Amino acid sequence: MNNLIDIMQLSTEEIAELIDRAEDIIANPKKYSEACHGKKLATLFFEPSTRTRLSFEAAMYELGGNVLGFSEAKSSSAAKGESVSDTVRTVGCYADIIAMRHPKEGAPLVASRSAGVPVINAGDGGHNHPTQTLTDLLTIRREKGRLDNMTVGICGDLKFGRTVHSLMCAMSRYPGVKFVLISPEELVVPRYLITDVLEPAGVEYEEVRSLEDVMPQLDILYMTRVQRERFFNEADYLRLKDTYILTPEKLETAKKDLTILHPLPRVNEISVAVDDDPRACYFKQVLNGKYIRMALILKLLEVEV
Ligand code: NCD
């Protein structure tokens, strides 16, 4: 079955093909407008979402397909105690492909075993978010013209931020990528990313506390929100939430061609005054998310255009 549960299921060649396809969709949208005629995407969102769910839905509509689904667990039979397996086995009878977000790590993998149709992980707990990473990679390639040979600063909640985990896995495969991991001590990246991903791949990285100190060396600055919903207590969240706030002043020492990304939603970590800076690419990133998801749906449904 064609699923996308983990970004490492895609080779760098396949990622390049998806990015090329997204570029072709951007250049020739009409060519794709009936590509998924008669097909249905189900969006099963057991956790809040704005961009991921709506970009999946917009993607399917722009491919000429249809969409069904739910946007909160309490409006599905999960509220009655139904298992993920039974829910997706049911939805697999109605839809050709499923995009699923769930608070439990591994739920989309479990779903993929009983759905009978392709399942896409649209975010599982504090674990992974492969389609956000495809969005990030498309954006980086559009902005920089390449995915290799760059210093990537990732700042904020590196512990619970699932987009960070998938992005680090994906980018660890491109030569000359160096990571600068900027977080409070309490929110460093899970150790498996160091021992099982960065070190075996021989990727250069440093873990630091100060954003200002490393700013001049960055080609990419990927800001993230502190993931309140994954904290065990509110006091820790309140103490850590405003550790990093990107402002125009802090960008004074940054490279002129820095690319600033954020998966969004933003809470406080990027001042709105940064939005007018030409280096701020997070709203372009939002739009790119629709195009790369169109490319992904075509691939998983094996639609020839
Ligand atoms: C992210 C997520 O859900 O993990 N949002 C998104 O999909 N663009 C990031 C976040 O919620 O902080």
Write the pLDDT tens digit of every residue in 111-169. 999 999 999 999 999 999 999 999 999 999 999 999 999 999 999 999 999 999 999 99
Task: Please give the average per-residue pLDDT across 230-255, as a whole number.
Answer: 96
* pLDDT bracket for residue 192 (50, 70, 90): very high
- Which of 156-160, 204-208, 228-232, 251-255 shows the lowest per-residue confidence on average (mean pLDDT)? 228-232
What does the pLDDT read at residue 256?
98
What percent of the chain stands above pLDDT 90? Answer: 99
Q: Which of 132, 187, 237, 284 has the most ligand 1 atoms within 8 A of CB, as the residue to mutate?
A: 132
- Residue 188 is given by DSSP the state P
Q: pLDDT confidence of 274, banded at 50, 70, 90?
A: very high
Q: What angle do CA 50, 154, 254 make, to 5 degrees?
A: 110
pLDDT digits (tens, 9 = 90+) for 69-104: 999 999 899 989 999 999 999 999 999 999 999 999
Q: What is the mean pLDDT of the chain?
A: 97
Whether 1 shows a pLDDT value over 90: the answer reads no
CA angle 108, 283, 277 (to 5 degrees): 140
What is the model's pLDDT at position 75?
87
Distance CA(77)–CA(93), nearest Å, equals 16
Q: What is the pLDDT of residues 23-46, one digit of tens each?
A: 999 999 999 999 999 999 999 999
What's the rounded mean pLDDT across residues 193-222? Answer: 98
CB of 87 closer than 6 angstroms to any ligand 1 atom: no
CA of 164 to the centre of ligand 1 (A): 10
Is 228's C-beta closer than 6 angstroms to any atom of ligand 1?
no
Q: What is the whole-number distance in angstroms between the Cα of residue 163 and the centre of ligand 1?
A: 7
Alpha-carbon gap, residue 180 to 46, rounded angstroms: 32
Phi, psi of 40 (to 5 degrees): -125, 135
Residue 212 has pLDDT above 90, yes or no: yes
If one counts every other C-beta atom within 10 angstroms of the C-beta of residue 57, the result is 21
